[in-house]
Amino acid sequence: QELITTINNSRRIEYAKVAAKNNLTLEAVGSMMFQKIYVRLPAGTWVQIQGKWSKKVP
């Protein structure tokens, strides 16, 4: 759990930098990054979207 927290905090810091540089919200940057990552995930990968876990389908 500590590793996950560390990774998430580091990600949040980087997203905040991008948001500030581009006059965007942290949520907007997170959403854009999720979209970029999602398309590269293999089918069957579990993802959490708006608080709900589901498997990515092909």
Assign 3-class secondary structure to the chain.
Answer: CHHHHHHHHHHHHHHHHHHHHCCCCHHHHHHHHHHHHHCCCCCCCEEEECCEEEECCC
Do 56 and 47 form a contact (C-beta atoms < 8 A)?
yes
pLDDT in tens, 31-56: 999 999 999 999 999 999 999 999 99
pLDDT in tens, 22-31: 999 999 999 9
pLDDT at position 1, please? 86
Of 35, 33, 39, 1, the closest CA to residue 14 belongs to: 33
Does the pLDDT at position 7 exceed 90?
yes
The pTM (predicted TM-score) of the whole model is 0.76
Give the residue, 58 or 32, on which the prediction is more confident. Answer: 32
